Structure 1
Amino acid sequence: MHFSYIPLALAELAALSRAVPTSTVPASLSAPSAAAPPTAPTVRLDAGIFVGASEGPANKFLGIPFAQPPVGDLRFRLPVPAAPYAGTYNASAFGLACAQQNDTLRVPPAIVSNVTQFLGGGVIAPSGEDCLTLNVYTPANVTRGAKLPVVVWIFGGGFEFGGTSSYDGTAVVATSVKMGTPVIFVSMNYRLSLFGFLASKEVKEAGVGNLGLQDQRLALHWVQEYISAFGGDPAKVTLWGESAGALSVALHMTTNGGDAEGLFRGAFMQSGAPLAVGDISGGQADYDRIVADAGCAAARDTLQCLREAPFETLLQAANGSPALFGPSALNLSWQPRVDGVFVTDVPQTLVKQGSVADVPFVNGNCDDEGTLFSLATLNITTDAEVKAYLQSNYLPEASSSQLDKILELYPQDPAQGSPFGTGTNNTLSPQFKRLAAIQGDLVFQSSRRFFLQERAHKQPAFAYIHKRFKATPGIGSAHITDIISVFGGTDMTEYLVNFVVGLNPNGPGLLGWPAYSTAAPRLMTFLDGPVPLNITADDFRVEGMQLLTELQQAHPLE
C-alpha cells in the first residue's frame, strides 16, 4: 500500500504560541546602540543600560546576551558568562535563534489543510551560532524592588530546532496582572542539534556533553544575578517547559544530586518527564559521520578540528541527520544523554535513586501525543512491520516475546488507537492509530506516570491531561496543543500563574485541582465544549505503559 504526503517545512515545532512578528538584531549586543525614545522602558545591569519596548500591560527586554558567543574556540565548549555590561543597548528585538536543523512534517493530502491551520503562526528569528540570549517580560509598572515571582520558559523542538521568538510572554504577564498576582516571564535560547548535543566518547572525555543543558543552567544563574533589577525575586523562580523543554526541566531537577542550588523552587512540565536515555557514546556513529563530513577524520583531535570547521559545513551535516518528523521519529540523533557531568546516570535511574530536586511540580500530557510523530510511517501497514519498526527504532535488544506483548496490549483495533476516543475515525493507514498510541505512551505518557508514581508521595505534585482540539482531523489532541491553552490567556494560563505565585495551581474561580496521589491518581482534564474542566482518573492503559517503562529502563534509548 502506498501513501502520498505533502511536505510542510517547519521553522519550529512549537509554533502555536501566537507569536508576534518582530525584527531582529545580532545576538551579541556588544556595541552600544543609538538611544531609543525617552518613553521606552530601561533597566540598568552592571554599568549597562538596556532599552526595551512596551506592549500594553508588559515591558519587553529582548535579546540580552547571558553568555559569550559560542563561536571560534568556544564552539563545543561549556558556555562562558557574558562580560559585565557597559554602555547602552537596544533590547527591543530578539537576538538570533540558535542554529536550526531542518525538518519536514509529512502530511497526507486529506488532512494537510487542517494541520497547516493548526500548526501555523509561529515566527522564528534568523538563526546562527551567536545565539545565547534571553528575554525578560515584566508588568509595565513594575519597580526594581517589587520582588515578583518569576517563570522561566524553556521551549521545545526535539532539541533540533526552536527559538524564543515564537513564544510571546505578554499574554502570561497580562493574565497575571489581571489576576492581581503579577509575575515576570523569562525565556532563553540554548544550543541545538549537533551544536548543543554532540555525543561521542571524545565529547565525554572532554567533558563537553549536553551543552544545550549547560546553556540553560547558565541562564538560570543569570536570572539569580540580574532578575532583581527587573523587579523579580530570585528566590521565587519556577522552571517551565514543553516537550524538549519539559524534559530539560526534568533534567535540571535530577542533575547535581537533586540539588537545585537555589536556582528554582518549582517546576511545570508539559509533555516531558525523565526518560531512559543511555550513555553519550551511543551517539558515536553520528559523531563519526560529522567528523567525516567536516574533513576531520585524519585529525589527531577531531573535536578541535570540528571547532575550526566552517559553520556551513556543520549546519549541512546537521541537516543530514534523522529528523524529529522523519521515520525515526522520537528516537532522536541529538538529545540529552548520560555524560557523567550534567546527566550522571540514566535519568529514570536517578529518579529511583532519589536524585530529584525537592520542589513542587506539575507534569502533564496531551491526550494524543504520538499522532504527529506517526505521520511519516503510514507505509507501515502490517503487524510484522510494526514489530520490526519498534525493534529497529526503539527497542533493538527487546525479545520477540516482549515485542509481541506490546502488540497484544496495543491492538490493531482503530477504536483503541490514537487519536483516542474517536472510534474508527482518523484511520489514516491500517496501523497509524496503533503506532500513534505506542509512540505517545513510550516517550510521553509512561514517563510522566513513572515520575509521578515515584515522587508524588515525597513532594507536592499535580498532573493533567489535555484533551482540547480533539476534533482536529488525523491528529486529535496532538502534541503541543496545550501550548495554545497555556499561552492563550485561558484557564490553563491562570493555573500556571497560580503555581508560579504560590506553588499550587489552585485559585479563585477555577475548578479545584487535586494533588496527585499514588493511591488514587487523578488528573486535571482540559476539555472541549461547555464543560471545559473535569477531574479524571489516571488509570488508562496501565499494563501497556508499565511494560513500556520496564523495557525502556532495561534498554535505554541510545
Structure 2
Amino acid sequence: MHLGLWAVALQASIVLAAPLAGPTVELDSATVTGTSSGRASSFLGIPFAKPPTGDRRFRLPESIDPYSTSFSATSMGPACPQQSVKLPILTGLPADAVNFVVNSIYQVVFPDDEDCLTINIIKPADATPTSDLPVVAWIFGGGFELGSPQMYDGTGIVERSISLGQPVIYVSMNYRVTGFGFLAGKEVKAAGVGNLGLQDQREALRWIQKYIGAFGGDPTKVTMWVQYNALDFIRSADWNWLISSWGESAGAISVSLQMLADGGDTKGLFRAAFMQSGSPIPVGDIANGQKYYDAIVQETGCTGSSDTLACLRTVPYAKLKAAIDDSPGIFSYQSLNLAWLPRADGVFLTDNPQRLVQQGKVAKIPIVSGDCDDEGTLFSLSTLNVTTESQIRTYVKTEFLSTIQDADLDILLKAYPQDLVQGSPYDTGFLDALSLQFKRFASFQGDAVFQAPRRFFLNNLSGKQKMWSFLSKRGKALPFLGAAHGTDILNIYGGGELADYLIRFATNLDPNGPGSASWPEYTTASPSLLTLVDNLLFPIQITQDTYRKGAMDAVTKITLENPV
C-alpha cells in the first residue's frame, strides 16, 4: 500500500517537474520555441544570415536559407568578435573614479565567435500573426569595436508598452564590429566589401520585413533605435545606478547611416529613427584606413600574397583577431579617431556622410536625436599627459585631424580655449580638472563627434521632416565625467521618461502623449530641446539648441574639410 502511494507520488512529481512547453512561432516550415516571462515572450539567437566564416569572411552577408528544421530559441547567440580593451594609464584620479572606469570596462566580457549573425525578438505574449504591432529595432553601440545585444534585456520595454496600452515588439541584432566588420583600405573598396557591419544591420532589417509578421509585428511600422555609448559597460558597485551599455553612439551613428544608404531610399525597411548620441559623422574615403589594413596584412603573414584580402580569409581566427586587437582601441591615445569605423566605400556610403546630408540624400522619415551634456569626458582620459598649448596643437595635428591647416587649428583652439569654466563637465566651474587640458579636450571631443554633428544633421533636415531633439544633463554629480556619454540609457531601459517617448514615437510617429511633458518639434527657427535635469520638482525643461554656437560652427566646418 505504501509502495503504491510512493509510486503515485513519484509519478506526480515527474509530471510537475516536466518543463512547460514554451511559446512557438512558425518560420517557413520550422517551429521555433522560445520562453515566456510575465506578459512577454522571447525568441533569442535566431540566425538571420549565413555564418560569415571561412570564405564568407570579409564578404557581404548572405541571406539565410528558408528554415526547415525546428529549433529552440531560448538564449542569445555569441557576440561578434570583440576588440580587446586597453585602458589608458590613469594617474591622479581619486580612488572611486579609478574604480568606476576600470571595473566598468574589465568586468564586461561577452562570449564571442565569428559565427555571430543572430537576431532576438521579444513580443507581448498574446501577440498573434494578425496583431500588426509596431516594431522597435535596437542596434547596439560600442565604438564599432565592442558590444552585443546581451547588454540589455528588452523585456522591460515590451512590458512598459503594454502598460501604456501601446504594445510594441522589441528586436535586437548582432552585426560584425572591429576589423571583421569595418575593415578599410583600397583592397576592400575594390572588392566592394566595405562597411560590412552596416550591411549586416541592413540584412537584419530585411529579415524583419520577411519574418516579423509571424511574431505579431507589422513590417511597415519599424523604428530603428540606436545608441553609441561607452558607459554601457559600466558595472561599478559604487555607480550601479548608471549601468548602461555600448549601444548609444555607434548604434545611433549606424541608424543615421542607414538613413543615407541607397541615396536615402529606405526600401521600406524602416519608417522612423530614434538616435541617442550619434549622427552622421565626418569620415572620408575608406582608403583613409589603409594603415590599419596594411598592419593586419603584415602581422598575419599575408604581405607576400598577390591577393591579400583572399589571404586574410584563410588566416586562422585566433591569429587574425590578435592582429586586430593590436590596433588602437577607443581608449587608446588617439581616442575617438577610431581605427574601425564606417567610411565612404562607394557602395553603402557613396561619399562623406555629412556631404550626403548636404546633398539631401537622406531618408525623409520622422526622427528623434539627442545627446548627453558631457559626451567627451570619458574619451578624454587617455590624453591626461597633454598639458601644454604646444602639446595640444601637436596632438590635434598628429592624432586627430592630420590634414588640418595651422590657420584652422588656431580657429579651433580659440573656439575651445584653455578655460576651466568653459570646459566639460560643463557648469562645474573650476572643478573636475584632471589636467590643465582635460576639460578642454572633453569639450572639443564631445562637440566634434556628438553635439555638432547632431546639430548639423537637424539643421540640414529642418523643414523636410518631423524632428525632435533632447539633451540629458542628468548625472552631473559623477566625478570628472558629469552627464557623460551613455548616462541617458538607463532612462529608457529603466523605465524613465524616454522609454515612454520612444514607445509613443514608434507607435504614432510622435513622442508626445498623455502623462508626459510636451515635447516641441525641432526646427531651425525654434531649435527646442527636451532637457532632462537633476531637479526633483522640474526634471524636464524646454531649452534652445543655441549653446556654444560659434564653437560648434567652427568645429563643424573644420571637420567637414578634414574628415578622418
Superposed pair shares fold, TM > 0.5: yes
Which sections of structure 1, spanning at least 5 residues, go unmatched? 1-35
Moved over 4 A (4+): 114-124
Q: Determine which of 151, 154, 160 is the counterpart of 1:166.
A: 151
CA-to-partner distance for each residue in 1:451-490, whole Å, 9 max, x for gaps?
0000021100110101111110010000011111111111
Question: Which of structures 1 and 2 has the bigger CA Rg?
Answer: 2
Distance in 2 of aligned mates of 1:66 and 1:329? 33
**1:263-322, CA deviations, whole angstroms, 9 ceiling, x for partnerless residues?**
000001111101111111111111111111111111111111000000011110111000
Distance in 2, matches of 1:535 and 1:109, equals 38
1:40 is aligned to: 22
2: CA distance between counterparts of 1:112 and 1:506? 42
Q: In terms of mean alpha carbon deviation, does 139-148 or 316-325 score higher? A: 139-148
Query: Residue 450 of structure 1: CA displacement?
Result: 0.1
| Equivalent-residue separation in structure 1 for 2:415 and 2:195 (angstroms) | 35
Distance 1:461 1:111 in 2: 41
Match of 2:96 in 1: 113
The residue number in structure 1 matching 2:319 is 313
Residue 116 of structure 1 deviates from its aligned partner by 4.6
1:225-374 alignment, distance < 5 Å: 225-242=210-227, 243-374=249-380
Q: For the residues of structure 1 that align with 2:95 and 2:84, how far apart are their CA atoms?
A: 19
- 1:376 lines up with 2:382 in the alignment: yes
2:36 corresponds to which residue?
54
Secondary structure of the 1:110 match is coil
Matches within 5 A, 1:201-240: 201-240=186-225
What is the distance in 1 between the residues matched to 2:99 and 2:493?
19
Contact residue 148 and residue 231 of structure 1 kept, 8 A: yes
Alignment-derived partner of residue 241 in structure 2: none
Q: What corresponds to 1:193 in structure 2?
A: 178
Instruction: Say if 1:117 and 1:61 are closer, same or farther in 2 by CA, change over 3 A.
Output: farther
Query: 1: distance between equivalents of 2:394 and 2:133?
Result: 53
* 1:79 equivalenced with 2:58 (yes/no): no
**Quick one: distance in 2 between partners of 1:379 and 1:99?**
31
Equivalenced residue count is 522
| Aligned-pair Cα RMSD in Å | 1.5
Give the distance between the partners of 1:336 and 1:515, measured in 2 at CA. 29
Structure 1 counterpart of 2:412: 406
Aligned with 2:257: secondary structure?
helix
Unaligned runs of 5+ in 2: 1-17, 228-248
Match of 2:512 among 486, 502, 506: 506
Which range moves more in the overlay, 43-52 or 180-189? 43-52
Q: Which secondary structure state, in structure 2, belongs to the residue aligned with residue 86 of structure 1?
A: coil
Distance 1:113 1:67 in 2: 43
Question: In 2, are the aligned partners of 1:499 and 1:506 still within 8 Å (CA)?
Answer: yes
**CA–CA distance in 2 between the matches of 1:332 and 1:435?**
16
CA distance in 1, matches of 2:506, 2:135: 7
Secondary structure class of the residue paired with 2:488: helix
Distance in 2 between the 1:482 and 1:116 partners? 21
Paired with 1:493 and 1:104, the residues of 2 have a C-alpha distance of 33
Percent identical among aligned pairs is 52
List per-residue Cα deviations over 1:49-84 (Å, max 9, x = no partner).
111111222211110000000000000000001111
Structure 1-normalised TM-score?
0.91
In structure 1, how many angstroms separate the alpha carbons of the residues matched to 2:279 and 2:32?
A: 36
Moved more, 102-111 or 414-423: 102-111
* In 2, Cα distance between equivalents of 1:416 and 1:112: 26
AA in 1 matched with 2:150: S
In 2, the alpha carbon distance for the partners of 1:507 and 1:528 equals 23
Q: 1:546 aligns with which of 528, 531, 553?
A: 553
SS of the equivalent of 1:448 reads helix
After TM superposition, the score normalised by the length of structure 2 is: 0.90
2:525 maps to which residue? 519
CA distance in 1, matches of 2:39, 2:392: 51
The Cα offsets for residues 13-34 of structure 1, whole Å up to 9 and x where unpaired, read as xxxxxxxxxxxxxxxxxxxxxx
Q: Deviations over 1:502-551 (max 9, x none)?
A: 11111111111000010121100011221211100111110111111111
